[in-house]
Amino acid sequence: MTETLALVCPAEPSERLNGVLNAALRGYPHERISWLTDRLCNRRLLFALSISAGGPGHGFYDLLAFLRTHPGCLSGSVGGVVTDGIGDLYTKSAARELVLAASLAGCTFPGRPLVEATGSLRNFTVQAKNANCSLPEAYRLAVVDLAQRVLSFSPPRRQQPKLLVLHASSRSTSNTLALWSHVRAQLELQCAVTEIGLRNGTLEDCAGCPYTTCLHFGERGSCFYGGVMVQEVYPAIRDADAVVLLCPNYNDALSANLTAAVNRLTALYRTTSFAEKAVFAIVVSGYSGGDIVASQVVSALNMNKGFWLPADFCLLETANDKGEAERLPGIEERLERFAETIRRQLTL
């Protein structure tokens, strides 16, 4: 029996978005539901957002507030997002805020869960060229593809999943690594764990090679810049079922070396699908802003590189002084719950 796709629209869709949804979903069982009154758990959800020149409207922020204050309200659901903007701004930032809130409310997202339509639709230029069609038709085809993937997505399970852990921290001082060590201890019987440290001086950032150059090296499982990414990270990612990023909050951003690692994945991404690989993260902030870093993980690895995003994919903590994170009230319970989240979503 084919599942019904549940449309969640925090405001009345624009004329263009409504037309695209009607055309793209023709032939698929679907219904529009209210996030205030209808069941949201164990559904296949498509969030559809119209973005004005001033950004998302009140309905969007009401939806965010609901998701953030109702933990587990999306438990067992799989989601996708369509954003349709009047201009070129806010379509992706709104989507990543929504995906972060929905993941923390229990929703799982397949890789590339966003169809983003800017006002001009110029962001569909490459897709239209590849499909030999118009920009509006490329937009419609992208929504069709997303609907199919949301309806069919099933998280891969393994007897003993392989976890790749990437960090750029010092074990002697890092609160983030200290928390991971507790999580790792609870996972090692069920998961095979590989850790790679990306410390200063070991990793060059991507400098934006031409597409043909990047593709040339990617087809050989390599990258123009070589180094630890080619020698260690690429083979480990190919082999992994999930990547765990350890993310201390540096100025409300991923650390420079983790950012460089994500950028350097482009060569591998051109020839290797990440669709069956999950991404998790531990984010520790000295003062605040963990959600900003977590949303960067969402946009970089889930939306752009195509890793699937498990429900509750991230652990967000606040600690400053060395060793403080391990003394946080209730931290042992939260670490156990995060380890169980990883185990439950990856293992048979």
> Does residue 341 share a domain with residue 208?
yes
The model's pLDDT over 83-132, given as tens digits with 9 standing for 90+, comes to 999 999 999 999 999 999 999 999 999 999 999 999 999 999 999 999 99
> Does residue 188 share a domain with residue 114?
no
- Of the three residues 152, 187, 208, the one that is the final residue of a domain is 152
> Does residue 145 share a domain with residue 186?
no
- Of the three residues 105, 127, 152, the one that is the final residue of a domain is 152
pLDDT at 220 over 70: no
What is the pTM for the complete model shown? 0.94
- Mean pLDDT over each residue of the chain, to the nearest integer: 92
Exposure of 202 by Cβ count < 10 A (0-12 exposed, 13-18 middle, 19+ buried)?
middle
> Does residue 208 share a domain with residue 110?
no
> Does residue 314 share a domain with residue 235?
yes
pLDDT at 309 over 80: yes
Q: Domain range holding 306?
A: 162-346
Cβ proximity of 44 and 6 under 8 Å: yes
Q: Is 55 within a domain? A: yes
pLDDT at 229 over 60: yes
pLDDT for position 228? 78
pLDDT bracket for residue 199 (50, 70, 90) = confident
CA–CA dist 249, 318 (Å, integer): 9
> Does residue 148 share a domain with residue 12?
yes
Distance set, CA 330 to CA 228, 284, 317, 334, 337 (Å): 37, 15, 11, 7, 11
> Does residue 321 share a domain with residue 176?
yes
CA–CA dist 130, 54 (Å, integer): 32
Q: Is 86 within a domain? A: yes
> Does residue 322 share a domain with residue 191?
yes
Q: Is 45 within a domain? A: yes
Which amino acid, 334? Answer: R
> Does residue 337 share a domain with residue 197?
yes
> Does residue 169 share a domain with residue 99?
no
pLDDT for position 273? 95
pLDDT bracket for residue 267 (50, 70, 90) = confident
> Does residue 209 share a domain with residue 333?
yes
pLDDT at 262 over 90: yes
The model's pLDDT over 43-64, given as tens digits with 9 standing for 90+, comes to 999 999 999 999 999 999 999 9
* Count of domains observed in the chain: 2
- Of the three residues 126, 152, 178, the one that is the final residue of a domain is 152
CATH number, position 266: 3.40.50.360
Q: Is 157 within a domain? A: no
pLDDT for position 172? 82
> Does residue 199 share a domain with residue 168?
yes
